[in-house]
A and B are shown apart, each in its own frame.
Chain A
């Protein structure tokens, strides 16, 4: 469906897939490339060479076995907790939104947000190092105050960034949600000339320190 090449914040290629199950149910999947064998080999070899060099000087065999153990444990932790295989957003009209990330080891974490709790979906901006990046987030209602926003939930919580044109983004998400139809750009109401620049989507907020208050 998309013939643009998307890259993430670190320059790696990612893929977007939209699947429409019904007129009011859509699923968007963002997938990143798999772990490359070359990189794994490079890391393993460098760690082991280092360990062998240390062994050469100290003649302590515990260094070698600990290096092997560290590499194995590190790889297992990486594919289980760090390496995201794909993330998907399932929008079901009048039920809610489901966000799920699936890791390289097969682990899946899923969150479902009910329609009654969603106030709005907006594009928010944040400062990440030297650039400003935009990310899609869901505003949740505060149970005690009907007009306030209780929390901001960023979607696609992985280090990803899309180079997507506004028009495509609009079509995708406009058709998807019957009830969540308002996407507004804070402060830039109808400037279509933004379309000409490549808008950087931030899908990055893994760390909780990026809870940016929305202007909602």
Chain B
């Protein structure tokens, strides 16, 4: 069996001492975490290790001894071997290194419990040196050693993906060797608090032994965040109280607020603020990333909103916008009127049924007239509305965009009405036609059996049915044309709204913090590891360098996307076309409710 020893790079030049670490059960490997130097008192070492074990929850133990003999240290060999009697272990590793050489040598001492004597196995230098005599005498096999060098700080901070949370399922396999190794280093951070400036009884070497690292800004932010969280949660409680007032729970308001995207966005952001302002620190890596992503996207949102405000409120942009809005609405109304006049004539050379044409055309013209008067009524207030509406952008660009989408929906309400009228009429006609076509052929739709059955009709039924069928059929082109025109207009509006919603969704859900982390500190998000063979000298064990393989950017975005009420097309293209053909009302964007974890 091959024994794998994970050795931190910071301990490559450490003075001689004891190796502290953990044996990974079931995989025949050991993780070295720190080196405790001579001189020490064994009792204090044992006490220290027990204390660290209690604090970190990792099964620490003394793995063996490390010797890097300097000029004045002679006679360490026997001293090192005697240490194994002080710290009784199953296996005792004696790793040594010569100054000037890069390779390590490792002796393994096995304590054979049943016989009560020590069975020593020496690591072989080369395959060819294996002789049968040596193996035959004691009856044991060769033990080979791989040294895997790792950078302790990076492994401690990194998180292996796919993330496994919570209690592992007993039916599945135990976590793999690498995952256990990463977890060991990550949880042993109490071990790394002892640095060389401490006046304690023990001196150890690890990645922080040159002095503990901390950042003043991070500490200040941590201190400042506590009162800030309290303030935000207090504000949120007031806001929720206002929202839950009875008057707002009446049916029409509730229905409206579920349709208006501004209200939806507001409730969504409230949820976010609630997540952010919880007083408990984040429980695991996923929680931490979720909170960080929400915070960063909120800040970016507000920054973009401020940019928009700074552009909007200078140089008289708002009066300019207001002054172009009413003429634009007038222009749209005039175009629509011209369109209807064209339809009422002979559009594209098609001959329409005169009477129906006039009826529908006049009906829609009257609607447009109503709408234009409504716009003219509102025109003095438009500037005020725009001014106050633009202020909503200080809550974030997403609010401004949702407000815009709602305003577009309100302003094009007449197109929506026309579309509904045209669609209903067309739908009625199509159903009538299909039913009468079945009558024409002598069949009937059986509601009980949900299928088409043959049926014998009376003569008068057949006569009236055929008559109606003919009428409907000849009126079909007119209705179909009106339906087509208004459906296209409605689809145009829906497309524009869809673009706005998609961009709001993008700003809401894109994990900016995770992508930034991937770019600036790629070792934090690890997909796996990669090994490199270090050129070693012949006659020593195999040395590998383990580096962290960062996650791909696409995987980062996929894993850390904040779940949103994303708008996505409800139907596939085929279903949409079928609905359009039959005349069913289409609502192509569907709001998904927020997923809960």
| A95 with B549, Cβ < 8 A, contacts A25-B542, A112-B528 known | no
CA of A144 to CA of B172 in the docked complex: distance in angstroms? Answer: 6
| A23 with B144, Cβ < 8 A, contacts A92-B544, A116-B173, A143-B173 known | yes
A 1-37 contacts with B by CB, 8 A: 21-25, 27
Closest approach, in angstroms, between the C-beta of A142 and any C-beta of chain B? 10
In the complex, which residues of chain B have a beta carbon less than 8 angstroms from the beta carbon of A117?
A: 176
In the complex, which residues of chain A have a beta carbon less than 8 angstroms from the beta carbon of B172?
A: 143-144
A114 within 8 A of B: yes
In the complex, which residues of chain B have a beta carbon less than 8 angstroms from the beta carbon of A25?
A: 146, 533, 542
Find out whether the CB atom of B531 lies under 8 angstroms from the CB atom of A98: yes
| A112 with B173, Cβ < 8 A, contacts A98-B531, A100-B530 known | no
A176 within 8 A of B: no
B1 within 8 A of A: yes
Could you mark each residue 1-20 of chain B with 1 if its beta carbon is under 8 Å from any beta carbon of chain A, else 0? 11010000000000000000
A 115-152 contacts with B by CB, 8 A: 116-117, 143-144, 146
CA of A143 to CA of B28 in the docked complex: distance in angstroms? Answer: 22
Find out whether the CB atom of A92 lies under 8 angstroms from the CB atom of B528: no
Find out whether the CB atom of B2 lies under 8 angstroms from the CB atom of A24: yes
Find out whether the CB atom of B144 lies under 8 angstroms from the CB atom of A95: no
Residue of A nearest to B529 (CB): A112
Cross-interface CB contact of A112 among B28, B146, B530, cutoff 8 Å: B530
Cross-interface CB contact of A95 among B1, B127, B173, B531, cutoff 8 Å: B531
Find out whether the CB atom of A116 lies under 8 angstroms from the CB atom of B177: yes
Closest approach, in angstroms, between the C-beta of B537 and any C-beta of chain A? 12
In the complex, which residues of chain B have a beta carbon less than 8 angstroms from the beta carbon of A21?
A: 533, 542
Cross-interface CB contact of B533 among A90, A94, A112, A178, cutoff 8 Å: A90
Find out whether the CB atom of A98 lies under 8 angstroms from the CB atom of B2: no
Cross-interface CB contact of B176 among A22, A23, A116, cutoff 8 Å: A116
Instruction: Please tell me the number of chain A residues within 8 Å of chain B, measured between CB atoms.
Output: 23
Cross-interface CB contact of A94 among B4, B173, B530, B544, cutoff 8 Å: B4
| A114 with B177, Cβ < 8 A, contacts A94-B2, A94-B4, A143-B172 known | yes
Closest approach, in angstroms, between the C-beta of B166 and any C-beta of chain A? 15
Find out whether the CB atom of A24 lies under 8 angstroms from the CB atom of B173: no
Residue of A nearest to B130 (CB): A23
CA of A95 to CA of B177 in the docked complex: distance in angstroms? Answer: 9
In the complex, which residues of chain A have a beta carbon less than 8 angstroms from the beta carbon of B127?
A: 23
B178 within 8 A of A: yes
A110 within 8 A of B: yes
Residue of A nearest to B534 (CB): A21
CA of A23 to CA of B542 in the docked complex: distance in angstroms? Answer: 9
Find out whether the CB atom of A114 lies under 8 angstroms from the CB atom of B176: yes
Closest approach, in angstroms, between the C-beta of A59 and any C-beta of chain B? 39
Could you mark each residue 173-216 of chain A with 1 if its beta carbon is under 8 Å from any beta carbon of chain B, else 0? 00000100000000000000000000000000000000000000
Could you mark each residue 154-177 of chain B with 1 if its beta carbon is under 8 Å from any beta carbon of chain A, else 0? 000000000000000000110011
Closest approach, in angstroms, between the C-beta of B334 and any C-beta of chain A? 39
Residue of A nearest to B541 (CB): A22
Closest approach, in angstroms, between the C-beta of B484 and any C-beta of chain A? 40
Cross-interface CB contact of B4 among A90, A95, A98, cutoff 8 Å: A95
CA of A110 to CA of B550 in the docked complex: distance in angstroms? Answer: 10
Closest approach, in angstroms, between the C-beta of B529 and any C-beta of chain A? 5
Could you mark each residue 513-537 of chain B with 1 if its beta carbon is under 8 Å from any beta carbon of chain A, else 0? 0000000000000001111010000
Residue of A nearest to B535 (CB): A21
Could you mark each residue 62-102 of chain B with 1 if its beta carbon is under 8 Å from any beta carbon of chain A, else 0? 00000000000000000000000000000000000000000
Residue of A nearest to B27 (CB): A116
Find out whether the CB atom of B2 lies under 8 angstroms from the CB atom of A93: yes
Find out whether the CB atom of B542 lies under 8 angstroms from the CB atom of A112: no
Find out whether the CB atom of A92 lies under 8 angstroms from the CB atom of B178: no
CA of A23 to CA of B145 in the docked complex: distance in angstroms? Answer: 11
Q: Which of A21, A94, A143: most chain B CB closer than 10 A?
A: A94
| A114 with B178, Cβ < 8 A, contacts A24-B144, A92-B544, A95-B146 known | yes
A171 within 8 A of B: no
A 95-121 contacts with B by CB, 8 A: 95, 98, 100, 110-112, 114, 116-117
Chain B interface (Cβ < 8 Å from any Cβ of A): 1-2, 4, 28, 127, 144, 146, 148, 172-173, 176-178, 528-531, 533, 542, 544, 549
**Subset of 7 A-B contacts with CB under 8 Å:** A22-B542, A24-B542, A92-B531, A94-B146, A110-B530, A116-B176, A143-B172
18 additional A-B pairs beyond A93-B2, A116-B173, beta carbons within 8 Å, are A22-B542, A25-B146, A25-B542, A90-B533, A92-B146, A94-B1, A94-B2, A94-B146, A95-B148, A95-B531, A95-B544, A98-B531, A110-B530, A112-B529, A112-B531, A112-B549, A117-B176, A143-B173
> Closest 3 A-B residue pairs measured CB to CB?
A110-B530, A94-B2, A22-B542
